[in-house]
Amino acid sequence: MVRGPENNCILPQKCSLERSSAAHSLDVDHARCPPRERFDPCTAHCQKNCTNWTKPIPCSRMCVPGCICEKGLVRGPNEKCIHPKECSEAETTEDALKK
């Protein structure tokens, strides 16, 4: 079970159904995502970045809709989706110091 958009417990496969009753609204949300990103109805709050892409990251079970990086990409320091090999040592260190 995961926490749905109205703070209720729902099955993960129903997350997108709870979030959006009209099928076209998912298309609208997807159209708003920048290049190299896609809309996800539940996991926008839990994404890999240059500092955590090699480790498992703890995520809450609450559904948070939004744009996420396409498979194989991570959030860079400028919030754009990049390949992990594009994460420079300086960027990784800078991000780690912010936390």
For residues 89 and 68, the model is more confident at 68
Report which of 56, 60, 28, 55 is spatially closest to residue 44, judged by C-alpha positions: 60
Instruction: Considering only residues 55 and 5, tell me which one the structure prediction assigns the higher pLDDT.
Output: 55
Whole-number pLDDT of residue 16: 52
Binned at pLDDT 50, 70 and 90, residue 64 comes out as confident
Asked if residue 4 has pLDDT above 50, the reply is yes
Mean pLDDT over 28-36 rounds to 76
Question: Domains of the chain (ranges plus CATH)?
Answer: 32-91 (2.10.25.10)
Token pair 């990049």 is found at 82
By the 8 A CB rule, do 37 and 49 touch?
no
Q: What pTM value is reported for the model?
A: 0.59
- Is residue 37 within 8 Å of residue 81, measured between CB atoms? yes
